Amino acid sequence: MIIDFHTHSFPEALAGRAIDRLAASSRARNYLDGTAGALRASMREAGVDYSVLLPVVTRTGQQEDINRAAIETNRHSAQTGLISFGGIHPENGDYREILRRLSENGVKGVKIHPVFQRVAIDDIRYLRIIECASENDMIVITHAGYDIGFPGDDFSSVGRIERMLDAVKPKKLVLAHMGGWDCWEEVEERIVGRDVWLDTAFSLLPIEAAPGTVRSPQENPPLSREQFLRMVRRHGAERILFGTDSPWSGQRQMVEAIRDSGLDPEEQEAVLWGNAAGLLRL
């Protein structure tokens, strides 16, 4: 079994515009067109059994439609292999009711994105959401580190993540991008070993340039094989989750990267599916 803990898709009517906009801001190639159908085809090619969809609420009024779609997606997970988390914005004053309703409807987690939502991860509004999610036995997955489309913005920097962890002690928190995209030295010094999960999304492979753009090999290099292995073993392979950030990385290519990473067979199985299956209670 393989579980991809970090993927994205968009409604078919919006996917083309959303992907074009994100590719332009990041100058990064998209491997898929952003639709659920393309993701399911990619899963079949890569041997992925389940993909976790992580919607991002960028305006407070969006969560109702996004969460309704998440609940509907999860009704068909056994057939499609797609499991959707819910979405919430830090400015949603009714966050307790939103999280309670998601939990009651079987949604196992929520995605937050401090950079896209323009609120720092150590802001009291996020702290309340993370605490409330823990009370409802829900997973929180957050973008961690910098963002390729917003260079230098520190809404989810390592220092801010540290302050958040010191303040709320979350029960089921996943830090995407191996704990902090493009700042892995800080992650290794200050986050590795703490009581969180890390996912591998958008961390292990070189970023390919979007058509019509230029990206040098020295720009935002991926984690080296040596540093990845060191981080996994210091943090504990039992707290690492396979994630791709599809459509921004290829699922087949990322599976191959894990297989070729130097992890032993037991570590690979834990990362590729065992840890996620336990966290998701599959």
Strand order in the sheet with 173-175: 86-87, 109-112, 139-142, 173-175, 197-199, 240-241
According to the model, what pLDDT value does residue 242 have?
98
* pLDDT beneath 70: ranges in the chain: none
- Which CATH number does the domain housing residue 43 bear? 3.20.20.140
The DSSP bridge partners found for residue 141 are 111, 174
Total domain count for the chain?
A: 1
Predicted confidence (pLDDT) per residue in 168-192, tens digit:
999 999 999 999 999 999 999 999 9
Under DSSP, the state recorded for 271 is I
| Buried b / exposed e along 95-133 (16+ C-beta atoms within 10 A) | beebbeebbeeebbbbbbbbbbbebbbbbebbbebbebb
Using an 8 Å Cβ cutoff, are 95 and 132 in contact? yes
Range of the structural domain that residue 237 is part of: 3-280
According to the model, what pLDDT value does residue 193 have?
97
According to the model, what pLDDT value does residue 215 have?
86
According to the model, what pLDDT value does residue 140 have?
98
According to the model, what pLDDT value does residue 214 have?
86
Predicted confidence (pLDDT) per residue in 34-79, tens digit:
999 999 999 999 999 999 999 999 999 899 999 999 999 999 999 9
pTM: 0.97
